[in-house]
Structure 1
Amino acid sequence: MAVLAHLRIPASTFELGQILDMTEGATIKLETLVPVGEKAVPFFSVHGTVAPAFEKNVRAHESVTSITEVSAHDDSILYALDWGVGADTFFRTIAETGATILSATGGPDSWEFELRFTTYESLEMFREHCSERSVPVEVERIYNPSRPETGPFYGLTQPQREALLRAVEGGYYSIPRGLSTKDLAEEFDISDQAVTERLRRAILTLVDNSLVAAMEAESEIEE
């Protein structure tokens, strides 16, 4: 059964992070992700202020053949990167363990990756290889959804996540309550009824895509 892992790695400790050295306030998102091959990350977008020397510095790296600006829109620039992945230990480890990159976002200090592994064993192998090769990967979250289409947040929309998190953190479900639906409604600038409905839908979605899905998966295994 597939295992999804959210991990963080310091930008300075793997080659792509060093190549795409960003200034404060700018972020990078990998747009086209191919985990194996000569062009592992051919396209990426930069959001925020790009330093004048950014392209020059990227082009000067020994592993980079070329960097080309594809398009620009508002504060986002899309680049094509011709990059030899072979020297990047981190990406090589991803390829060796058969993982798939689902998403990747980088900043000045660190990068966050969402990886899919075919089994828990392959994830453990990945962690062992990273440790042996002194790649300081921090696995922050591991989940095993039976419904992969729900993503890392179990199908919750961003408004649902925000409302549910705020309700829990603020003590809405505590006894006595730390805040009311009226308090939440004022914070999110919606009606009391809308808050109640948003929380109701969030809880139903969360339970359906976690507990119910896990029970269904367990039942299939037993059969």
Structure 2
Amino acid sequence: MSVIAEFRVPSTDFELGRILTIDGDTTIELERLVPIGEATVPLFWVHNSTRDSFVENVQSHPGVNNAAEVDVFEDRTLFTLDWEPTDDHLIQGIQESQGQLLSAVGTPETWEFELRFPDYDVLTEFSTYCEESGISLTINYVYNPTEPDAHPWYGLTDPQREAMTLAVRMGYYDIPRGCTTKELAAELGISDQAVTERLRRGIVSLVSNTLVTAESAESSE
């Protein structure tokens, strides 16, 4: 039975964290890891950063072949990174453990990860691997997504839960709509695009931790 773990890692403890160096109030949100041949290509959002200086710093790393913009909004930019993760023990450990990335958010000091593992034994092996690799892993939550009492929010982060709850209360999902994303953004104090992205990620997380997991469990019986 699958298990979901939320954990924190210092930015300096893994190669991707060292490559994606940021400062100030900038944050990085990993969209997904895309396997292309033998390579792993990250797609990630950078919030509140100067794009030119960020790309220049990233491309100066010896392990990076290229960093390119995919999409640009007023307050965030989507990048793709062509990089050889030969020395990134954390990413290698996730891949070898068949971990599924649900979310990853980086700040100048730390990264917060949410991963699904096949079972508790694999999670234990992953934790041991990180310890032996010199990665300071701090586990915040571990829960089974098929057991509602194990975790109250089915993998939702606090901002996602806040946005989704407010959207329901203000009638965003009603027909006709009771509010717009701009009105939600004003209530939350964030941009219109950020609200849309937060709702999208929240729905993906909620479905992944309930319906998708339940279907997987039924198919294995």
- Which of the five TM-score ranges fits, normalised by the shorter chain? 0.5 to 0.7
The alpha carbon displacement at 1:78 in A equals 1.1
Aligned partners of 1:94 and 1:2: how far apart in 2? Answer: 14
Cα distance in 1 for residues equivalent to 2:48 and 2:120: 37
Aligned-pair Cα RMSD in Å: 3.1
SS at match of 1:23: coil
Give the TM-score of the pair, scaled to structure 2: 0.66
Q: Deviations over 1:52-79 (max 9, x none)?
A: 5221111011111100112211111111
For 1:61, give the aligned amino acid.
H
Deviates more, 1:41-50 or 1:105-114: 41-50
Aligned partner of 1:128 in structure 2 is 128
Whether contact under 8 Å (1:2, 1:117) holds in the other structure is yes
Task: Could you list the structure 1 runs, at least 4 aligned residues long, displaced by more than 6 angstroms after superposition.
Answer: 159-162
Query: What is the identity, as a one-letter code, of the residue corresponding to 1:13?
Result: D
Counterparts of residues 19-58 of structure 1 (less than 5 Å): 19-34=19-34, 38-50=38-50, 52-58=52-58
Distance 1:37 1:124 in 2: 28
Distance 1:16 1:66 in 2: 14
Please give the alpha-carbon distance, in whole angstroms, between the structure 2 residues aligned to 1:67 and 1:54.
10
Distance apart, 1:160 and its partner CA:
8.2
Q: Could you list the runs of 5+ residues in structure 1 that have no partner in the other structure?
A: 163-187, 189-208, 211-216
Give the letter aligned to residue 56 of structure 2: K
Give TM-score scaled by structure 1 length. Answer: 0.65
Between the two proteins, the alignment pairs up a number of residues equal to 166
Is 1:151 paired with 2:154? yes
Indicate the larger mover: 34-43 or 23-32.
Answer: 34-43
Q: Gaps spanning 5+ residues in structure 2: where?
A: 167-186, 188-208, 211-216
1:76–1:153 Cα change, 3 Å: closer
Contact (CA 8 Å) 1:94, 1:126: kept in 2 or not?
yes
Alpha carbons 2:32, 2:101 under 8 Å: kept: no
1:153: Cα distance to partner? 4.4
Distance 1:69 1:36, change over 3 A: closer
**After the TM superposition, which of the residue ranges 46-55 and 3-12 deviates more from structure 2?**
46-55
| CA spacing shift, 1:116–1:36, aligned 2, 3 Å | farther
Q: Which has the larger radius of gyration?
A: 1
User: What CA distance in whole angstroms lies between the structure 2 residues aligned with 1:62 and 1:47?
Assistant: 24
Query: Do 1:98 and 1:117's aligned partners in 2 also have CA atoms closer than 8 Å?
Result: yes
